[in-house]
Amino acid sequence: MKPIDICLLLEGTYPYVRGGVSSWVHQLITGLPQYNFYLVFIGGCKSAYGEQYYQLPDNVVGMEKHFLMDHHGLFTPRPRRGKKTAFTMWQSVIERFKRPEESLSPEHLQGLLDNLGKQQGLSFSDFLYSERSWEVIVDLYYQHAQQQSFVDYFWTFRHVYSPLFTLVKIAENLPKARMFHSISTGYAGFLGALAKQHQHAPFC
């Protein structure tokens, strides 16, 4: 593959969805033929997207796609305690998410890269089924959402944070790029922060 100048992190848009954002992305790529682009498409469920709508310009040197809500081969529940240090790190990250005026530090991002999805850290199965994960959810519920339904809080928590395990894996396996750019600030923006931390490359 040719060297990558700009890796675009695209959430639910180009090249599968028509609209203003996708049109802008296509114009950006075609308007900068001197740069090589690599595309990372992030979607919810694969079933929500049809055929690729845009024909990729010649300066797109590669593309990968990921669907954050498609969890294949979920683990069979079994009793598990979970690792205390991993969940201490995890709760501190979640607490930062609840204080939007404070950004995640490089140390928090590195902690996610080092621990999230790792068997020796915070595995996805521990996130789903361990006692420590339950304790974190209950603690956060009592701190921030006592007036809400616990059942709703529980399932919202799972659906919001489960994709982070996939994003860490994506960040670890992205090809080298001179810079990263996300078109949105949701999961794509978080992936950009992880990619920057992992590759020490600019992200904007």
Q: Give the whole-angstrom CA distance, residue 161 versus residue 39.
A: 23
**CB atoms < 10 A from the CB of 176, how many?**
11
Q: Is 154 helix (H, G, I), strand (E, B) or coil?
A: helix
- Looking at residue 72, what is its pLDDT? 58
- Looking at residue 182, what is its pLDDT? 95
Cα atoms in the Cβ-side hemisphere of radius 13 Å centred on 119: 0
Q: Which two tokens mark 18?
A: 């028509």
Q: Which residues of the chain have pLDDT under 70?
A: 71-75, 100
The whole model's pTM is what?
0.85
Dihedral sign from CA coordinates of 73, 70, 186, 100: negative
Contact in structure between 177 and 38 (CB atoms under 8 Å): yes
Q: Which two tokens mark 122?
A: 């915070």
